Amino acid sequence: MKDIVPSVQVTGATGFVGCALVKELRRRQTPLLLPRELVISKDRVGDVSTVIHLAARVHVMHDTAAEPLAAFREVNVDATVNLAEQAAAAGVRRFVYLSSMKVNGEATPSNHPFTEHDLPAPQDPYAISKWEAEQGLRKISDHTGMELVIIRPPLVYGLGVKANFSALMRAVQRGFPLPLGSVRNMRSLVALDNLVDFIVVCATHPAAANQTFLVSDGQDMSTPHLIRAMARAAGVPARLVPFPIRALTTLARFIDREAALERLSGNLQVDITKAREVLGWTPPVDVDEALRRCFVRSPS
């Protein structure tokens, strides 16, 4: 009888991270299952050795759901726990869960990055749902022995990125003056290629079992530094205008953009020492190259 080749099942395979992950796994000739629904088929017991769960109701700035927390819980908690229960029952060896840095909190004091040892402090419905899913998954892992790996990334950027990062890229590429020259902050980001590489390591490395990891590029930057790096990648001059932070805050409050300004001016740093030491992982792509790849096709 021919041996069954263990496969990796990826949920959320059509998303921003999922598309890149599937491409990389196929490059590595990894047998894949890409279900349209969050299900482990019981007639394929033994086929799937690892589930990489990316599918989620993602964070949105202006949620229109009548009860946002309930909407997030339905997808990010209930469906995730149900999938993990099916996986454990089907004999899946390892469950890799893409959580969020927002589980740790929204900001860090200067030079005090988040670590895996920090007490979770989720603040919005999305982050709360991710933290609740982590807790549900740990219970299943404890009861069944299925290995669990939790990954908490900060903002992910790469070719095809959307939302605020894409808007900032367009502003830089079009030469708009940006009143952020006086910002003095530090933020951690993670390039799509680095995150994909880290997910693959977490799916395969023996030492990743039953661990939680923070991940980033390992190159924290201020917002002005990021804008200058974007400009270099796009081949345009950076147009940074010094503007008093207090005045900028007042203006942001007036136009209801306080949250956006906080992301551009606040601190959010991630310590990836555990990933380096436990897994021997080093981000394979540096920030300059990662940003250059963002501009391979001009953002629309």
- If we measure between CA atoms, which residue out of 241, 198, 230, 231 comes closest to residue 96? 198
- Tell me which residue has tokens 């790096």: 229
Q: Catalytic: 157?
A: no
Q: Where are the domains of the chain?
A: 7-160+189-218+269-285
Tell me the sheet residues that pair with 97: 53, 150
For the domain 7-160+189-218+269-285, what is the CATH code? 3.40.50.720
- Tell me which residue has tokens 């380096």: 276
- Cα 300 to Cα 177, 234, 297: the distances in Å are 19, 14, 9
What pLDDT sits at residue 48?
84
What pLDDT sits at residue 210?
98
Indicate the length of the chain as a whole number.
300
CA separation for the pair 265, 245 (Å, rounded): 9
Token duo for residue 288: 């300059």
For the chain, the C-alpha Rg in angstroms (whole number) is: 20
Long-range contacts of the stretch 102-107 (C-beta < 8 A, 24+) = 102/59, 102/126, 102/127, 102/130, 103/127, 103/130, 103/131, 103/134, 103/152, 104/152, 104/214, 106/262, 106/266, 106/268, 107/262, 107/266, 107/267, 107/268
CA separation for the pair 103, 214 (Å, rounded): 11
Judging by beta carbons within 10 Å of its beta carbon (0-12, 13-18, 19+), is residue 142 exposed, middle or buried? exposed
CA separation for the pair 5, 21 (Å, rounded): 20
CA separation for the pair 164, 263 (Å, rounded): 10
What pLDDT sits at residue 261?
79
CA separation for the pair 123, 120 (Å, rounded): 10
Q: What is the pLDDT along the chain (300 residues), one digit of tens a residue?
A: 333 345 899 999 999 999 999 999 999 988 988 876 666 554 444 578 999 999 999 866 556 667 889 999 999 999 999 999 999 999 999 999 999 999 999 999 988 999 999 999 999 999 999 999 999 999 999 999 999 999 999 999 999 999 889 999 999 999 999 999 999 999 999 999 999 999 999 999 999 999 999 999 999 999 999 999 999 999 999 999 998 888 888 877 877 777 777 888 899 999 999 999 999 999 999 999 999 999 876 444
Q: Per the residue annotation, which of 126, 157, 165, 295 is the catalytic one?
A: 126
CA separation for the pair 211, 249 (Å, rounded): 39
- Tell me which residue has tokens 């869960």: 97
What pLDDT sits at residue 263?
83
| Torsional class of 256: left (φ above 0), alpha (ψ -120 to 50), beta (otherwise) | left
pTM of this structure: 0.92
